[in-house]
Structure 1
């Protein structure tokens, strides 16, 4: 039987972040321990601190990131719950300010989970590396003029669960070994009237029409439009469309959208000026919360980075959420790097990628865009430059040998409503 590792906190932010610390320090973070689950559950009240800490728990024992990774690599552990923070937007950065850099203010949630002793709630380790269908290499998304395509309404309750809905805009991630899906959360006891789901089993191979939620990727610049109102009873996020008891796929937000994908807020472009490609991998949230949603930034290309209006997208326990991306080193393709464990560089890509990008638009229309080190788990160093240019309020960049423009913990800039910026990758 595999051990179950609970990943309690990871920074997914647009600047300085607030996270759960293992013990009380001077950060004013309070934990309240319960005994209602085989796994440790925590209620967290978080104030604003400039540090990031990830904590892994095996039962009620803390394990180091190195030990957790070693167990994952050997197949001894599975992971449950990578957190994605919510945030309270700070005042807009001032364009004329040169003496200080205003960081984003974030409230990080701790995801807790319940499971049986034999079935994990969430796994982050793909079990197959089958040949993939290449992911898009440009931001241009073909749209069918007929009955199918990313703008077509999904035929609610008509398709068999064995059918991956690529005809309706979903992007198949065949290399994950999940039948094209980005994540699988089986809920055999789920009732549509449930407000919370207590039993969640994460699939680790292609599904056989098991009842539950099937999450999916969308093309560059688009985000998933479907997730249920019901979520895990201890805070787990659940995303995707539902495979029902009849073996049919049905929408989970049909009252809001009839489509699988929705276009993000335009205005953020990644331009790769390098002679080699790289990959930028978004967390599948809501869902299994693994960094598997790919943007394959091939050399010389331009790509749309998805952005959301935080208050109008997925809301976790009344809090707005943001998008988090993992930036891999030069030469790491999406198939290699957009997964938990990256075989080509296990210490420096995938979950251990060197740099994160965070983005989200606040209720006042300002988008907060941040680049920061993935120092919570990684000591890897990015081997190319990142520069943000355009309508950003203050400078924000990462340069090899110099670091980040704001501080060692990264930088955050603001983009006004209707503005646009380019994130340039260069040697």
Structure 2
């Protein structure tokens, strides 16, 4: 039997998924060897976070198990959670949302997939693509289209800051020149760089969405109001074109696959129908647990007293280690992050290659993630193609000792790579 074109597209693994499979297979097959995994994307295992969700889940079990786990529910989401979300966002941000503005799904990635399927692809008038207005961004977005080449991305303008930092800026002319956009999508703070979109940049993106007459999806998986991992906790923006997507994964429940979207009714209603046609509805016991967490302020308390401080301290620790350990005579720069769970390093040397770094580190028992897979359609010229192969991602969720040991090996490998590059050819 043959797969369809969309079947072939969805049956193939992205480059990053191949890397993650390689990490899992390597660690699982090499018995007795100690590995330092700084490529992991899981949130940190924080005891206070686990205890809070265990308590919320136990409460849901005791109060509503027979209703929510032993029967089907609404494709929009559990009514108790839908009401709690509306009350929460109206109270916290002064919005005026009702249940008609909300849909719950099995993870924020599934909600983004629904939006991509609804607003991009083969059209009656023209074919359109899902466009990431700035890459690097979450690699999972690259698998959201059923259409081959249905996802495009705009490379950033790279701005050096001081001696050891850098930032990314939107390429406004490239954003204006788009001709086949059906949906704009980005994460804030972003995975991998931890870049948060400022209010002025949000206005820029909204203006682009208006010009192209498309929705703008903002994935707040690392942002406000939860888990608020980052110093710049920009409040989500309400606009008739914005679909705000939220998740409890980085707030401590990645395995339960629960997210929700809040937007104008005309954007939400098609997504509700998509949920009904594809998955019926999201798991309901965890929906009940989240409703309890929102209504009792348990989640806000957890974010303010545990999650945000934990990642702030861990980021400071990792960034200090990198600054003190990486070779001074190599042109490396650390992204001036606003949040997220990773450090994003750029090695601005002709001899550096992210895949070569990955393989060399792997041989020494350390894993990081090569940067190239977070870019889409990186153009030639202005050094952008080269830049996409000069970055790598380091997780800050590992234990402090593992981060310290891993950074030492990274430093040694960079020195070795540089030394090999200057050896005379024979």
Higher strand share: 1
Q: If the length of structure 2 is used for normalisation, what is the TM-score?
A: 0.30
From the CA coordinates, give the structure whose radius of gyration is larger. Answer: 2
Higher helix share: 2
